[in-house]
Amino acid sequence: MAHVESTRRIEISSLATRRSTLDSKQVLDRFLAGIERRAFVMARVATGSTEEALDIVQDAMLQLVQHYSGREEREWAPLFHRILQRRIYDWYRRTRVRNRWRHWFSREDEESGDPLENFPDPAMVDPAELNATDRTMAALKAAVAQLPLRQQQAFLLRTWEGMDVEETARAMGCSAGSVKTHYSRAVHTLRERLKDHWQ
């Protein structure tokens, strides 16, 4: 009788563990589903490439699940953004090195300026086909895409993710002072660039 009771207790405990695992998996799934599109848009603005953005977001999701899924749910968003921004920054550095090599080996690139500023935006539409509001949005999108990476990160994390200075600093892996500087410069640059497009 005692043996039957003990076996039953083990089965109940095992079921509870399995349900808890499933629940936490569902919670994690919901969290990632809620953040993935924003993350993708942010990565695409930074890289100008759908494929690169998808790779970066997938990698960030994988890293979060593998290393931080055991953490408390409220910690996931800052951790995810930290990983995402790190991946974007890594991509930026790799691309810069690659472009520097290309620049050395090809004189044609000498006049083209910063290659990162010249990445085509696949979602960009011909401005002539847009109305005034859409034109403003297209100009804003192009202006954000052309910001230096750290300024862009600070601006998007604060504006899109609604992070405060401290949270943004943690996500970017820098000091709060740097975030303030990057954000301020980003706003200044955007205001300057958009003054000819703003109604």
Partner 1 sequence: MRTPTEQELQEAARRLLQKSELECDDFTVARLRAARLRALEARRRPFLLSWQALGGIATAGIAAALAGVLWLKAPSDLPGPRGSETPVADIELLTTKESPDFYTELDFYDWLASEADAS
Residue 176 touches partner 1, criterion: CB under 8 A: no
Residue 181 touches partner 1, criterion: CB under 8 A: no
What is Dmax (Cα atoms) for the chain?
Answer: 87
Strand (E) or helix (H) holding 136: helix 132-146
Quote the least distance from Cβ 115 to partner 1, whole Å: 23
Quote the least distance from Cβ 124 to partner 1, whole Å: 11
Read off the tokens for 15.
């079921």
* Interface map 130-169 toward partner 1 (x if CB under 8 A): ------xx--xx--x----------xx--xx---------
Contact between 175 and 164 under an 8 Å Cβ cutoff? The reply is no
The CA-based angle 98-187-196, given to 5 degrees, is 95
Cα(170)–Cα(175) distance, rounded to whole angstroms? 8
The radius of gyration of the chain's CA atoms, rounded to the nearest angstrom, is 22
* Interface map 29-58 toward partner 1 (x if CB under 8 A): x--xx--xxx-xx--------x---x--xx
Binding stretches for partner 1 (CB under 8 A): 17, 21, 25, 28-29, 32-33, 36-38, 40-41, 50, 54, 57-58, 61-62, 64-66, 69-70, 123, 136-137, 140-141, 144, 155-156, 159-160, 187, 190-192, 194-199
